[in-house]
A and B are shown apart, each in its own frame.
Chain A
Amino acid sequence: MKIFDKLREVIEGLTVHGQSTAILRVKAQIDNLFMLITLGDMLGVPILPPYYSLRLMPYVFPNIQNWKRYMLRERDVTDLVS
């Protein structure tokens, strides 16, 4: 990697990375809610009739694995410090 690129990345870390991660965390919570509402019957919480929520399946498919992992991960107060 060229020096300029390395420097650019360091600056990215200094300025933007923290913000973008925090935003992604908020987005994950919203996505969470969405997943619950639409595919909730996967967890036993039916809201939309499954006949129709199945239509959404292809679009949320890539997130399902990540969603499950994110939901089930233990979280401690010290996780939120940084």
Chain B
Amino acid sequence: MKGLKGLLEENPRLKVFIYAGKGGLGKTTLSAATSVKLSSLGKKTLVFSTDPQASLSDVFEQNVFGKGEVKIAENLYVMEIDADKRIHEYVSSIKKKIIDMYKLDRLPQDIEEYIDSAAAEPAMYESAVYDAMVDVVTEGKYDYYVFDMPPFGHGIRMIAIADVISKWVDKITELRRQAYEYGRVAASLKRSKLTYEDEILQELEYIRGRILKFRDIVMNTETTAFLMVMTPEKMTILDTEKALEMFQSLGLKLTGIVVNQVYPPELASRPDAPSYLKKKVEEQKKYIAEIADKFGKYVIAVTPMLNREPKGLDTLKIVAEELWSPKKRLEDYI
């Protein structure tokens, strides 16, 4: 297994590492571990997550939730965004803008309801996160970015239809220009002037830019490594298969899989191991065999089930080493 080291050797231009997939499999731990390793190479690294359960704060044993970019160690920065707060601020700014632009006392009720209900949708949550990702990458302050993505909902479909959206923006822009022309002529006939510049056109360009940029960040195989985490369990294997299908349908290329929470196989042969543990290890072998069969070419590393909580820089360093340069081969676990 090539490990992260192998990935970087194959493609030295990698900048962005995205960990995607369901929660509870150790995504956050592995993202943290990855960032620890990369920063130890002397490169400025940012690890980014958005879990409202504040798991990055847990893992680094420091409350970084909603605190922006926090320096944890030399070259290592953590950002755990409070997506709800972001959305709330965003929506408030839109409302305020309307009130200011039109000198209202308050927003009309139907408009307020519409904005609030849109803000409550799950798709809004995802979009806010993706937008934050675009912000961060566009700023370009770091050498490496590690993203712990929220589970994919409908929002991710945005990348598949990014081109369609781009064409729609073209069309909408064209429509706006036509409407503007007609308005201008009508005003000219009545000997008056149209006094607004079409700011909407500018906004449309901005929107198109953001959507395309996000699509590029995620889909550019030269600069981005797209990683999934799985465990040797039946459900996870099924989920991973489904996820792979979805990725393919979106045009996403999976770079690698990390198999996590793997018991050391020698446990089975230790006489003092409890029987349930031995059984577990036997099962695990079976699943790993299945994994090797179905996803063998993707697996880049196997990370161990730790005998303590995966917290703190020291523990992370251990995991990071295994992630970086696996000592065993996949077959050794079977």
Contacts from A to B (Cβ < 8 Å): 12, 16, 19-20, 23-24, 26-27, 30-31, 33-34, 37-38, 41-42, 47-62, 64-65
B206, A55: Cβ atoms closer than 8 Å: yes
B200, A27: Cβ atoms closer than 8 Å: no
- Within 8 Å CB of A59, what residues of B? 199-200, 203
If A52-B207, A58-B94 touch, whether A30 touches B179 (CB-CB below 8 Å) is yes
**Could you give, for residues 121-152 of chain B, a 1 whenever the CB lies within 8 Å of some chain A CB and a 0 otherwise?**
10110011001000000000000000000000
- Within the complex, what minimum Cβ distance (angstroms) separates B151 from chain A? 18
B186 at the interface (CB under 8 A from A): yes
B14 at the interface (CB under 8 A from A): no
Contacts from B to A (Cβ < 8 Å): 90-91, 94, 97-98, 101-102, 108, 111, 114-115, 118, 121, 123-124, 127-128, 131, 155, 158, 165, 168, 171-172, 175-176, 178-179, 182-183, 185-186, 189-190, 199-200, 203-204, 206-207, 210-211
- Within the complex, what minimum Cβ distance (angstroms) separates A26 from chain B? 6
A31, B179: Cβ atoms closer than 8 Å: yes
- Within 8 Å CB of A37, what residues of B? 168, 171-172, 175
- Within the complex, what minimum Cβ distance (angstroms) separates A64 from chain B? 7
B165, A48: Cβ atoms closer than 8 Å: yes
Residue on B nearest A34 in the bound complex, by CB: B175
Q: Which of B171, B182, B203 has the most CB of A within 10 A?
A: B182
The dominant DSSP class at the A interface is helix
B172, A61: Cβ atoms closer than 8 Å: no
B185, A51: Cβ atoms closer than 8 Å: no
- Within 8 Å CB of B102, what residues of A? 61-62
A51, B127: Cβ atoms closer than 8 Å: yes
- Within the complex, what minimum Cβ distance (angstroms) separates A28 from chain B? 9
Contact of B94 among A34, A42, A47, A54 (CB under 8 A): A54
- Within the complex, what minimum Cβ distance (angstroms) separates B86 from chain A? 10
- Within 8 Å CB of A55, what residues of B? 94, 203, 206-207
A23, B182: Cβ atoms closer than 8 Å: yes
Contact of B124 among A12, A30, A50, A62 (CB under 8 A): A50
- Within the complex, what minimum Cβ distance (angstroms) separates B109 from chain A? 12
Residue on B nearest A23 in the bound complex, by CB: B186
Contact of B98 among A48, A50, A53, A57 (CB under 8 A): A57
* A-B contacts besides A23-B182, A34-B175, 18 pairs, CB < 8 Å: A16-B189, A19-B189, A23-B185, A24-B183, A27-B179, A31-B179, A33-B175, A37-B172, A42-B114, A48-B165, A50-B118, A50-B121, A50-B127, A51-B127, A51-B128, A54-B118, A57-B94, A61-B98
Contact of A56 among B121, B158, B186, B203 (CB under 8 A): B203
- Within the complex, what minimum Cβ distance (angstroms) separates A54 from chain B? 5
A56, B190: Cβ atoms closer than 8 Å: no
Bound complex: CA A42 to CA B190 (Å): 34
- Within the complex, what minimum Cβ distance (angstroms) separates B90 from chain A? 8
Q: Can you offer 25 A-B residue contacts whose CB atoms are under 8 A? A: A20-B185, A20-B186, A27-B179, A30-B182, A31-B179, A34-B175, A34-B179, A41-B118, A47-B165, A49-B123, A49-B127, A49-B155, A50-B127, A51-B124, A51-B128, A52-B211, A53-B207, A54-B91, A56-B200, A56-B204, A58-B97, A61-B101, A61-B102, A61-B111, A65-B108
